[in-house]
Structure 1
Amino acid sequence: MAIRVQTACFDPGQLLNQLHADQLGVGAVVGFVGYVRDFNDGQEVAGMLLEHYSGMTEKALGKIVDLARERWPLLTVEVLHRVGRLEPGEPIVFVGVSSAHREAAFEACHFIIDYLKTQAPFWKKEDTADGPRWVDARESDDAALKRWV
């Protein structure tokens, strides 16, 4: 299991390839990459500042991964989330899992990103033409989480 919070950009393809490196038991690899959008809630977004509480955030991500491992037989899990200043088109988050079977890999990846969106302590501030604004949690994210409870 690898959990990282960093400012540096990352290569999603490289991370995905690492999920099955040197593991012959891997039958499925599933990954999710979230990107900074240039438009949100009817406004153009010029950039984003993503903040976190160091130590607490990594611990919360670890608990989410532990919950996924309790539910599905996973071989490898990678969660990487960026913080700091981000520009439209840049990757924000990568969640990748490997398993012997596709159903476990798909379900676990979906579970992890749903929990991350609602339970991990990150704060987003978007830069718009009207000035900076904090991004609130979406009702759709809360609804997605209910699938797993």
Structure 2
Amino acid sequence: MCITIVKTIKDAVAWPGDIETERDLGAWTGELPNYLRKLHNVNLHEEVSSTGSDTVAPSSDQISTDMETSAQDIASYQVVLSSDGSVVGFQPTSRLAVNHWASNPLAKELYNGRKLTPGLIEPGLKIQQPDKVILVELLMSVNPESWFALARPLGETG
């Protein structure tokens, strides 16, 4: 499901390159910020170090500095999918994402291509509530110099 979300965005904005996946990280296109990769590597290091491997993980200070500089350019959203992969919900989860919500390809898909206006309450959707939904976190760069989209599962309900 994460690959489908990233593909929708990649195709809508005509980003070049492939969609990459890692089981524990999710699906993405573009260049992920170092801190996202490092956080993933720190988690792997913690798992590996309990088994006796001696890999060196990045320091938490280095990760924190990287996070502060790039987090200002990352919009985060929650995507709600039905079990068949249809987008049934899409909401911003950061202040930056609120400003970019209306122009996001997933919002346009959810509202059937209707032109959306940021800051205005959009008319209600007529979507039948699915029995089971899948929650996905979507992180997207709003900086055209370092674009990426990362989708990772948050869980299932139902």
Q: Same fold (TM over 0.5)?
A: no
TM-score, with structure 1 as normaliser: 0.23
TM-score, with structure 2 as normaliser: 0.22
Q: Structure with the greater relative contact order (CA < 8 A, sep ≥ 6): 1 or 2? A: 1
Q: Indicate the structure (1 or 2) with the bigger Cα radius of gyration.
A: 2
Q: Whose strand fraction is larger, Structure 1's or Structure 2's?
A: 1
